[in-house]
């Protein structure tokens, strides 16, 4: 049997995902944004990279307000959220040239929501041949570029949102 080491997964496996502050709570202090992989914070919506991505460029777009579902959003928040999703897809197209996208919401724990109390969109860029059996057989994802390098490439585009 061959062994594939993925030591970065231990941080996720051992993390206390139920305690502490919500990952989408931005606050007023922007000094930790790079460490938290936050690309954009607007008046109603924020964008951050998924720390445990399915593939390079996996983004999370969330309302600033801490709400569990679409029904809890105001009309203004709903529009701003979808416009930010659209702009984020535009950034990924420009910088990473994906051939397609998976975009969606996981609402509720049984639907796969990892942070069910704060709704958020997943934007996952896709390329032909980007999937393989590693996730299914080895519970491992193969990500070809380091997450901080992807962050460095995307950040200037999100700074243009302001």
The string of pLDDT tens digits covering residues 55-100 is 889 999 999 999 999 999 999 999 999 999 999 999 999 999 999 9
* 1 in a structural domain: no
The residue behind tokens 């051992």 is 14
The string of pLDDT tens digits covering residues 97-153 is 999 999 999 888 887 777 878 899 999 999 887 765 555 555 666 677 888 889 999
Residue 72: domain span? 31-159
Cα 105 to Cα 60: distance, rounded to the nearest angstrom: 10
Which is more confident, 32 or 24?
32
122 is catalytic: no
- Provide the token pair at 66: 């801490």
* 144 in a structural domain: yes
Taking only Cα atoms into account, the Rg of the chain, rounded to an integer number of angstroms, comes to 16
* 70 in a structural domain: yes
CATH label of the domain that carries residue 144? 3.30.428.10
Cα 107 to Cα 135: distance, rounded to the nearest angstrom: 23
Residue 20 has pLDDT above 70, yes or no: no
Domain total for the chain? 1
Q: Report which secondary-structure segment, H or E, holds 123.
A: strand 121-126
* 23 in a structural domain: no
Burial category of 149 from C-beta neighbours within 10 Å (exposed 0-12, middle 13-18, buried 19 and up): exposed
State the catalytic residue, choosing from 58, 66, 118, 120. Answer: 120
Q: What is the pTM of this model?
A: 0.78
* 4 in a structural domain: no
* 61 in a structural domain: yes
Residue 19 has pLDDT above 60, yes or no: no
């Amino acid at each position: 049997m061959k062994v594939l080491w993925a030591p970065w997964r231990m941080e996720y496996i051992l993390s206390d995902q139920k305690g502490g502050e919500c990952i989408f709570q931005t606050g007023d202090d922007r000094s930790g944004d790079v460490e938290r992989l936050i690309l954009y914070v607007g008046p109603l919506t924020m964008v951050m990279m998924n720390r445990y991505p399915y593939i390079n460029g996996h983004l999370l777009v969330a309302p600033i307000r801490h709400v569990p579902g679409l029904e809890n959003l105001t009309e203004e928040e709903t529009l701003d959220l979808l416009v930010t999703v659209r702009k984020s897809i535009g950034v990924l197209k420009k910088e990473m040239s994906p051939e397609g996208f998976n975009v969606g919401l996981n609402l509720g724990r049984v639907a796969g929501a990892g942070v069910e109390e704060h709704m958020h969109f997943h934007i996952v860029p896709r390329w032909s041949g980007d999937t393989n059996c590693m996730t299914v057989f080895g519970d491992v994802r193969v990500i070809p570029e380091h997450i901080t390098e992807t962050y460095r490439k995307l950040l200037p585009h999100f700074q243009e949102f302001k």
